[in-house]
Amino acid sequence: MAANPSTTLTGRGAGHGQAVGPVVQLAPPARRPADEPAGDPDTAGEVARTALNAVANDLTARAGDADGTLAEVLTVTAQMAADPQLTADIAQRAKHGDGPATAIWDAFDPFLEKLAGLGGYLAERVTDLRSVRDRAVNRALGLPEPGPARLVAPSVVVATDLSPADTSALDLGNVAAIVTEEGGPTSHTAIIAGQLGIPCVVRVAGATELPAGRLVAVDSVRGTVTLDPDDELIAAVTHAETARASVQGTAPATHTADGHPVSVLANVGTLADATSAAATGAVGVGLLRTEVLYLDRATAPSIDEQAAAYRDVLAQFPGGKVVVRTLDSGADKPLPFATQPDEENPALGVRGYRLARPRPELLDDQLAALARAQQDSDAELWVMAPMISTPAEAAEFAALARGHGLTRVGAMVEVPSAALRAREVLAELDFVSIGTNDLAQYTMAADRLRGELADLLDPWQPAVLDLVAATARAGADAGKPVGVCGESAGDPVMALALIGLGVTSLSMAPAAAAEVSHAVTGHTLAECRAVAAAALAATDAAGTREAAQAAVGGRS
């Protein structure tokens, strides 16, 4: 899709594919009330509580109607709305004379400042928390909730950023693409767009100044928004999307064109995700996120509860492989019963496997539940720990898991130290799976909130690919599988490069599986290696991507 630089805005691509459509701007956020009358303090407090409870209940209901990542994020956002400290602060402000909407607005400020100051994953919650505030403020004022306009035709939704609540309120059948002025490639907007298969470009300067109705062409691979596309460009987008649609329904790949074994698997987070993935042909799961079992709870789920949930997911893939990631709590997924106090930088703190240090019973119960589920299943259960940093941690986790009778034990490679010592890590394990989102963050020391640093989070960064290559070489030498379950696996060109580097399985949002499988089965291992070699020879992310695309011979 060639673009005229004079009429093109650039950002960071996410989601999948391209689209052309008219701009629909998201309704503006709420504003702090000006001179709101105070009224009776008790009445003001009750109005504020009612508004906040209504928002929390609405988010919880939307979570029940959603699937996967969107459902998980809505659940956590509902928890924010019901935070007792926040509720108490609002009541105190109302008692001191603030009107209900003013009390809500001002009570949120210190929470927003704290999240923004923490950086990393937690800072990404700022958009979500602002959305809760704005919705509660408008309810308290008797105004409609801010959010998306009604879409009557396929449109390009443009916003400063989209909260999960905004996304859940969209008529997704009429969302041709999403463009945001803020956010980053690993923001909730980008991740949800990837899950839903919607073209998306984030961090586009000037996007919110586009007039409603203006025709734009959105390219999620190149990260461009072309204004007033000409007939040639519209035809090119239409042709590309027709070609992409034609491969939908392609069975998940099990090998390259010349028979080299490669598995294309699904990333799932809930039973609904697993059922949907299985219904669309997925033969296995490369990443089962287990955090959803722990969200919106005051205490950890019991072994019986967990075993039943895992058993239900495994039942969707008889004879197939299901890779379960143990609890990845901390950072952006704090749990009321396991939150660590006073962490200045939670992304570098007690998260993932490290939670077993202060709370070993959480991991022990989870492994016991997985072992119990395995006994009643025909699926191949593989289990891996997130945030493994050293061979000693790998050995410790392997001993714990095998002590429960689990036979296929691995770890996530998200930390550069694990990639650099992949041989020693793999000596303790049966497999590893690379989480490219976190690997990019930790390799490039780039906060995922800082959209202006989004180029550093690009999975095509040569340093990130070097670490992937090193891990894959260690796996090949040890004769052990090395998978990739980060978002980059859902890019067809990147998928070919990863295979060329030696990766043995690719796990992604089910929406990307058909296109990736089509690319995999259409290329030989030698061609994949040529793509990888071209990528590794480049010196920056843009050059790496362009070299890989050129080696493929155009878009896959």
Catalytic site positions:
188, 485
**Residues linked to residue 333 through DSSP beta bridges, in sequence order:** 330
DSSP 487-547: GGGGSHHHHHHHHHHT--EEEE-HHHHHHHHHHHHTS-HHHHHHHHHHHHH-SSHHHHHHH
Distances (CA, A) of 134 to 146, 173, 296: 7, 26, 22
DSSP letter for 405, please.
T
Closest to 77 measured CA to CA, from 135, 26, 119: 135
- Phi (first) and psi of residue 219, to 5 degrees: -120, 110
Other beta carbons within 10 Å of 411: 32
**Residues linked to residue 13 through DSSP beta bridges, in sequence order:** 201
Alpha carbon distance 53, 162 (integer Å): 21
Task: Tell me the one-letter amino acid at 45.
Answer: G
DSSP E strands, 256-405: 263-268, 285-289, 321-325, 380-385
| Residue keyed to tokens 């992949």 | 422
Helix axes 41-65, 84-95, angle to 10 degrees: 150
Tokens of 97: 């004379």
DSSP letter for 548, please.
H
Q: Residue 143, class by beta-carbon neighbours within 10 Å (0-12 exposed, 13-18 middle, 19+ buried)?
A: exposed
Length of the chain, please?
556
Alpha carbon distance 484, 433 (integer Å): 5
Handedness of CA 117, 414, 470, 530 (dihedral sign): negative
Q: Are 11 and 216 in contact (CB under 8 A)?
A: no
- Phi (first) and psi of residue 328, to 5 degrees: -110, 65
Q: At a CB cut-off of 8 Å and minimum separation 6, what does 299 contact?
A: 337
How far is residue 384 CA from its own chain's centroid?
18
Tokens of 56: 């929390």
DSSP 207-233: GGGSPTT-EEEEETTTTEEEES--HHH
Alpha carbon distance 449, 186 (integer Å): 8
Tokens of 433: 């799976």
